[in-house]
Amino acid sequence: MTVVRVLLSLLFLYLALAWQSSLSGQGTLLGHRPALPLMFVTLVGLRVGPRFGALYGFLAGFFEGAAAGANLSAHVLSRTLIGFTCGFVHGSDLQLRPAVVAMVATLATVLAQVSLLFMAPPPDIQSFIGATLGTAIFNGVGAGLLDILVRRTLDPKVD
C-alpha cells in the first residue's frame, strides 16, 4: 500500500470520527445512529489486508472509544478484530461488488457490537440489540454506497 493510500485512509478515518462526534451523534436516521468509524474499518479492511486492517481497526477503536468516554479496551479489541477479519476477506477470491460489501459490513457491524455486548455489557440489553440491528442495516447500506466512491482509492487491484 502506497503512502498516498495510507494517508487517504487515515483522512477517511479522521472525517468519520469527526462526523460521528459532531453531526451524527446529535441526531438519528430512522431512529438509529450510524457507526461511521466501524463502516470505514470494514471498507479499509476489505480493500487492503489483515495487517493494515487490524492497525486501522485499532486506531478507529482507540479514537472512537476515547471520544465516547467508553470502555476503551472493548472498542479497541472489537474494531481490531473486525479490521483483521475483513482483511482476510480481501485475500480471498470473493469479488467485492457493492452488494457483497454491504452484506459484509452488516455482518461486521453485528459482530463488532455483539463483541462489545460481551466485553462491556450495557445496562439495557434489549435496546442495545435493537440499536445494533438498526446500525448494522444502516452501515451495510452506507458501506455499499461508499464502496463505489473509495474503491479506486484503496484497492491497488483496481488501478
pLDDT for 34-60, tens place per residue? 888 999 999 999 888 899 999 999 999
* Within a domain: 133: yes
Number of separate domains in the chain: 1
Residue 11: inside a domain: yes
26 found inside a domain: no
CATH code for the domain in which residue 142 is found: 1.10.1760
pLDDT of residue 28: 64
Quote the domain boundaries for residue 104.
3-21+32-154
Task: Specify which residues 29 forms β-bridges with.
Answer: 32
Residue 27 inside a domain? The answer is no
Q: Kindly tell me the sign of the dihedral angle through the C-alpha atoms of 16, 62, 64, 148.
A: positive
Specify if 159 maps to a domain.
no
Q: Is residue 63 in a domain?
A: yes
pLDDT above 80 (res 22): no
Burial profile 69-107: b = 16 or more Cβ within 10 angstroms, e = fewer? eeebebbbbbbbbbbbbbbebbeeeeebeeeebbebbbb
pLDDT tens across 79-130, in order? 999 999 998 888 788 888 889 999 999 999 999 999 988 988 888 888 888 8
Q: Is residue 102 part of a domain?
A: yes
